[in-house]
């Protein structure tokens, strides 16, 4: 999985072209369309097409990439590292994530920090990621699950401080559990977090209530993930869609999720004006929110790269269209299949 960032030409005077390790504001360095590519558990992708898309993204001006050790157990990081070496004269920035020690997504109420992210585990996976990527430091290290009950635990604070002191990482972020945008609020208030990665799309608008206002106040970067609701907002799913064995989506889009999801997508598509393509509108909805630093849609082919990048050039939605999309908010609670 990769996140990449392209400078928006219309805002080039506002956005630094370089992102130093000693960044003072993570939020202002990330803008517009990023990419999410080839995560573990999705079928239909290959290393060849993925690398082609990655190189195309870099050549198109993208310079910020997000991955995680768990995506292929380091394989995604190795691919990204190879791409970095293939473009030695470009300044490219790297983010990754530390997996929970118990390998359970999401974390659960009552989980102890020392069982999920003990200091030696954090250090071990920083070293694994650095080795896989072939770099000396990570621009952004993210915790791949989180419980806000851990906010004031000195253990993670000391671990992060040491990693920054030794320049193994430049910034630290949290990838928030699915449909739990409030499960990070107290942690952000510690002042030690530079970015937050959260599910935000036309259906999942809950981050706007409390998380985004706090991120604006504290100048914390927001990485919007799952912009297409795991593919439903591309319009490619039907109530009879199936996936190959081993594809993660088969366990997520169980009938009790797939059927109502498709119904809501169809209602949304029927409400859209004819000049508002569904997938493009889904990305533009996210880019319209000034709290969002970047959005990470899929990047498993060159066609994905080009289609998603094009959204950055289209400008804001009309006010009537924005109001229409807000009517399709869908508040959901984590359950056994939501992972």
pLDDT of residue 3: 41
List, run by run, the mean pLDDT of 10-residue segments along the chain (339 residues): 35 30 33 46 71 88 84 91 93 91 95 98 98 95 98 98 97 97 98 96 98 96 93 95 90 96 98 94 94 83 86 90 98 93
Are the C-beta atoms of residues 34 and 296 closer than 8 Å to each other? yes
Strand partners, 229: none
CATH annotation of 9-326: 3.20.20.100
pLDDT of residue 92: 86
pLDDT of residue 23: 28
Q: Is 142 helix (H, G, I), strand (E, B) or coil?
A: strand
Q: Is 208 helix (H, G, I), strand (E, B) or coil?
A: helix
pLDDT of residue 297: 82
pLDDT of residue 43: 58
Residue with tokens 């950055």: 312
Dist. CA 227–CA 234, nearest whole Å: 10
Taking the alpha carbons at both ends of the chain, their separation in whole angstroms is 17
pLDDT of residue 309: 80
Strand order in the sheet with 195-199: 64-66, 93-98, 140-143, 172-175, 195-199, 221-225, 294-296
pTM score? 0.88
Are the C-beta atoms of residues 298 and 37 closer than 8 Å to each other? yes
Q: β-pairing, 195-199 with 93-98?
A: unpaired
Domains of the chain, residue spans:
9-326
pLDDT of residue 324: 98
């Amino acid at each position: 999985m990769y996140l990449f960032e392209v400078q928006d030409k219309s805002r080039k005077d506002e956005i630094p072209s370089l992102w130093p390790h000693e960044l003072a504001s993570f939020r202002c360095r990330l803008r517009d369309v990023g990419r999410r590519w080839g995560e573990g558990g999705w079928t239909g992708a290959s290393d060849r097409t993925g690398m082609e898309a990655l190189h195309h993204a870099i050549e198109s001006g993208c310079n910020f990439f997000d991955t995680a050790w768990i995506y292929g157990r380091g394989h995604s990081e190795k691919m990204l590292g190879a791409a970095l070496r293939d473009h030695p004269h470009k300044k490219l920035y790297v983010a990754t994530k530390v997996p929970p020690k118990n390998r359970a997504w999401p974390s659960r109420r009552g989980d102890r920090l020392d069982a999920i992210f003990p200091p030696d585990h954090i250090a071990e996976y920083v070293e694994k990621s650095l080795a896989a990527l072939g770099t000396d430091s990570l621009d952004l290290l993210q915790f791949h699950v989180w419980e806000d009950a851990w906010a004031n635990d000195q253990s993670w604070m000391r671990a992060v401080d040491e990693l920054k002191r030794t320049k193994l990482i430049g910034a630290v972020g949290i990838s928030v559990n699915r449909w739990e945008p409030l499960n990070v609020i107290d942690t952000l208030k510690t002042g030690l977090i530079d970015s937050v990665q959260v599910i935000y799309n036309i259906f999942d608008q809950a981050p706007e209530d409390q998380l985004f206002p706090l991120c604006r106040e504290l100048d914390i970067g927001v990485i919007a993930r799952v912009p297409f609701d795991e593919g439903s907002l591309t319009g490619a799913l039907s109530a009879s869609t199936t996936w190959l064995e081993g594809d993660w989506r088969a366990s997520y889009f169980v009938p009790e999720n797939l059927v109502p999801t498709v119904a809501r997508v169809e209602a949304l598509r029927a409400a859209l004006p004819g000049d508002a393509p569904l997938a493009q509108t889904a990305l533009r909805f996210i880019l319209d929110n000034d709290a969002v630093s970047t959005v990470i849609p899929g990047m498993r082919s060159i066609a994905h790269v080009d289609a998603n990048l094009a959204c950055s050039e289209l400008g804001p939605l009309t006010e009537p269209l924005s109001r229409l999309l807000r009517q399709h908010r869908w508040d959901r609670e984590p359950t056994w299949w939501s992972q």
